[in-house]
Amino acid sequence: AFARLGVAPPRLSDWIAEDALSRAQLRDVAHPMGTTRMSATAQDGVVDTNGQVHGVHGLFIAGSSVFPTSGHANPTLMIVGLATRLAFHLRGLALTDSQAA
């Protein structure tokens, strides 16, 4: 696929290429979680309880990456709930801004 696109294939870091682990043992997951953790403070997370990135006005994140930990079940319903909650929050902000203008 890389050659067809005219792109060089990725080169694995030496520690990966030389590792005794089989490449078949390396796998991704469908719903990475915790990479932009939700927390009340910037010290403990990336986004606040409304999904806004700490210290960056107007930048919001909605997805499983804001979950502080993973659960035991598929997170799709929680992601939909989080996105719906954020949509209502952003709508409220937009209405407040339009009334102030």
What are the 10-residue block averages of pLDDT along the chain, 101 residues in total?
81 69 60 87 96 96 90 86 95 87 66
Q: What is the pLDDT of residue 97?
A: 82
d(CA 41, CA 37): 10
- 1's tokens: 């696929």
Strand partners, 53: 47
Domain ranges of the chain: 31-100
Q: What is the pLDDT of residue 22?
A: 58
d(CA 95, CA 101): 10
Q: What is the pLDDT of residue 27?
A: 62
Nearest 5°: the CA angle 81, 82, 83 is 90
Q: What is the pLDDT of residue 44?
A: 94
Q: What is the pLDDT of residue 21?
A: 59
